[in-house]
């Protein structure tokens, strides 16, 4: 990427973070935000430091991670419609998290582990289902299986939430729709701890992703260990999705919208694409969160609603293009 584009990208990221810190139930000027960040005595300090900063940073990291998941899965199954939500990973992770909450066994650090188990189970099930037609994997059947597994997980989640008497689980209903209302420094720490390793692993596999995007056979001939990279991608995206779901519920379509936009801006080589996708996904989700908490002030719209409103038209566009 050229220096000018890199600078523009940093500008977009900085602007989205600034807007994220300034907007909200109590609108702040950029000067107030800056003062609040610099000094604990400034009037806006508590709002900026304790409420908005962790919220904005969490939204950025989650958005970046979900977008990277989308890009990696799209290369893996060679279809621009792949992303954690549509492939059922989010549903599986949500179910895992709800089970953990309902059994009252889980603290904030353990919920992602249960979500991870759920996401992995969902991946395995989706994969198994789409092999029914034969040994060759058809990306379209994979997506269909993902939607079906996601719907099944959603039904089980609703049942558990309705039947459970634990108050934490009642709240789960709102949490499931996706939102950063409960963001905290602890949630940020939990997410960062779980996301760092899989993000690094996907980043280091950028070249392998270029190869597997060609298809299993050409990738093999060009030197890629296709089975190893497949396991790595499924494992890392399951982990990232699980960590996201655990801290902020189910947020769909980030992994669909952002890589699509990034491919129109940069070459589809993953070494340049992945950093762009991460920064773009982060900014996108920060701004979506701004919309979610300002559009119906003082009420907050779940951020998953906002991303779906943007994501579904993009999905339709991509679908038209992939069929044409």
Partner 1 sequence: MTLLEARDLLVRYRGGPPALDGVTCAARGGELLAVVGPNGSGKTTLVRVVSGLLRPERGEVTVDGRSLARWRRGELAGVLAVVPQGETVTFPLRVDETVMLGRYARLGPLAAPGSADHAAVNEALARCDVADLAGRTIDTLSGGEWQRVRLARALAQQPRVLVLDEPTTSLDIRHEMELFELVRRLVDAGLAGLVITHHLNLAARYADRILLLSRGRVAGEGRPGDVLRADTLRAVFDWPLAVTAWSDGSPQVVPLRPHESGER
Shorter beta-carbon distance to partner 1: residue 42 or 202: 202
Q: What angle do CA 157, 71, 12 make, to 5 degrees?
A: 100
Shortest distance, position 322 Cβ to partner 1, whole Å: 9
Tokens coding 231? 């396991």
Residues 77-136 that bind partner 1 (CB under 8 A): 78-80
User: Which of 304, 54, 25 has the alpha carbon at shortest distance from 191?
Assistant: 54
DSSP 14-71: HHHHHHHHH-SSS---HHHHHHHHH-TTSTTHHIIIIIIHHHHHHHHHHHHHHHHHHH
Q: Return the range that interacts with partner 1 (CB under 8 A); candidates 27-35, 75-83, 105-113, 282-290.
A: 75-83
Q: Does 210 bind partner 1 (CB under 8 A)?
A: yes
Stretch near partner 1 under the rule CB under 8 A, chosen from 107-115, 142-150, 220-228, 244-252: 220-228
Separation CA 305–CA 299 (nearest Å): 14
Phi then psi for residue 133, to 5 deg, are -70, -15
Closest CA to 273 of 197, 195, 203: 203
Site string for partner 1, 250-269 (x = CB under 8 A): -------------x---xxx
Tokens of 52: 């908005």
Q: Which residues contact 204 (CB under 8 A, 6 or more apart)?
A: none
- In the complex, minimum distance from the CB of residue 8 to partner 1, in angstroms, rounded to a whole number: 22
Choose the binding region for partner 1 from 59-67, 207-215, 234-242, 249-257 (rule: CB under 8 A): 207-215
**Per CB under 8 A, does 318 bind partner 1?**
no
**Complex with partner 1: residue 81 or 188, whichever CB lies closer:** 81
* Residues that contact partner 1, how many (by CB under 8 A): 25
CB of 267 to partner 1, least distance (A): 7
Shortest CB 223 distance to partner 1, Å: 3
Alpha helices in the chain (DSSP H): 3-22, 30-38, 45-46, 53-77, 89-102, 111-130, 139-163, 167-176, 185-204, 206-212, 216-221, 226-248, 254-265, 270-294, 303-323
Give the range of 13-21, 72-80, 97-105, 307-315 binding partner 1 by CB under 8 A.
72-80
Residue from 75, 114, 125, 236 touching partner 1 (CB under 8 A): that is 75
Q: Which stretch binds partner 1 (CB under 8 A): 71-79, 103-111, 141-149, 150-158?
A: 71-79
Range 19-58, binding partner 1 (CB under 8 A): none
Of these, 56, 67, 68, 211, which contacts partner 1 (CB under 8 A)? 211
CA 301 to chain centroid:
18
Report the interface residues with partner 1, using CB under 8 A.
75, 78-80, 204-207, 210-211, 213-215, 217-218, 220-225, 263, 267-269
């Amino acid at each position: 990427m050229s220096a000018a584009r890199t600078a523009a990208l940093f500008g977009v990221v900085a602007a989205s973070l600034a807007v994220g810190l300034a907007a909200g139930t109590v609108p702040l000027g950029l000067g107030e935000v800056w003062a609040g960040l610099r000094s604990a005595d400034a009037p806006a300090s508590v709002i900026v430091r304790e409420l908005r900063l962790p919220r904005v940073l969490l939204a950025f990291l989650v958005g970046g991670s979900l977008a990277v998941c989308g890009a990696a899965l799209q290369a893996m199954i060679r279809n621009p419609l792949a992303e954690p939500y549509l492939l059922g990973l989010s549903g599986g992770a949500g179910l895992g998290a709800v089970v953990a909450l309902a059994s009252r066994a889980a603290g904030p650090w353990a919920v992602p582990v249960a979500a991870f188990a759920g996401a992995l189970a969902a991946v395995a099930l989706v994969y198994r289902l789409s092999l029914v037609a034969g040994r060759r994997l058809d990306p379209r059947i994979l997506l269909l299986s993902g939607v079906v597994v996601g719907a099944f997980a959603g039904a089980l989640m609703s049942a558990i939430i309705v039947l459970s008497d634990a108050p934490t689980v009642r709240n789960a209903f709102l949490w499931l729709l996706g939102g950063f209302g409960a963001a905290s420094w602890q949630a940020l720490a939990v997410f960062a701890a779980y996301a760092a390793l899989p993000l690094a692993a996907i980043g280091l596999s950028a070249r392998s992703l270029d190869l597997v995007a060609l298809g299993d056979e050409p990738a093999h001939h060009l030197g890629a260990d296709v089975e190893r990279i497949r396991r790595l991608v499924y494992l890392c995206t399951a982990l990232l999705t699980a960590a996201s779901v655990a801290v902020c519920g189910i947020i769909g379509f980030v992994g669909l919208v952002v890589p699509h936009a990034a491919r129109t801006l940069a070459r589809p080589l993953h070494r340049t694409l992945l950093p762009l996708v991460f920064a773009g996904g982060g900014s996108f989700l920060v701004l979506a969160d701004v919309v979610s908490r300002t559009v119906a002030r003082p009420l907050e719209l779940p951020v998953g609603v906002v991303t779906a409103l943007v994501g579904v038209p993009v999905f339709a566009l991509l679908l038209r293009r992939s069929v044409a």
